Amino acid sequence: MANNRYSIGLIIVALGIVLLLGKLGIIGFFWGLLWPVFILAPGVILHMLFFGRMLPSAVLIPGGILVTISILFLFCNVFGWSSMQYLWPVFPFSVAVGLYEYYLFDKHRPREAFTAALILAIISAFFFGLTLLFTVGIYLIAVVLIIGGVVLLRRSRKLW
């Protein structure tokens, strides 16, 4: 009976602390920053279960996807969600990561998984490059024009 009172007392104190921290905004801050850990955890668990030889290698596909996406979400939480306009090609890349892990660690080395991972990685790189070109392309054009003008000025100085 005394143990029950002690346990109930601990639970009540813990609930009071959680309510107080929630009211002060501390829990909301950490939840808003660290919620992607709840996506990372299943991905890491799937990897651990595979490497512990409890599950087949096919679990590496969703495991790789979850880990990659959670890293993207953590990055966006820290540096701002506006960076998602540049980083959206990570979504198909995450599937490529999962398929490549499956290819690497499966004992039969399925060639189709490697081919699909390679195609998805190329598509992701293409769209990432396209996104960068449209966002910072004007700066690249400006730098090329400046360099071209400087080269023309240096060469034509002898003609003056």
- pLDDT tens digits, one per residue of 144-155: 999 999 988 888
pLDDT at 3: 66
Assess contact for 66 and 40: CB atoms under 8 A: yes
What are 25-58's pLDDT values in tens digits? 777 777 777 889 999 999 999 999 999 999 999 9
- C-alpha–C-alpha distance, residues 89 and 15, integer Å: 42
Half-sphere exposure of 80 (CA within 13 A, CB side): 4
CA distance 49 to 60: 10
Rounded distance between C-alpha atoms, residue 30 and residue 50, angstroms:
30
Give the pLDDT of residue 5.
77
> pTM for the whole thing?
0.73
Q: What is the dihedral of CA 24, 27, 30, 33, to 10 degrees?
A: -90
Give alpha helix (H) positions in the chain.
2-24, 26-34, 37-51, 60-79, 84-87, 90-105, 111-156
Cβ contact 101:110 at 8 Å: no
Predicted local confidence at residue 155, as pLDDT: 80
Q: Where are the domains of the chain?
A: 1-34, 36-129
- Give 137's pLDDT tier (boundaries 50, 70, 90): confident
Sign of the C-alpha dihedral computed for residues 44, 47, 48 and 54 taken in this order? positive
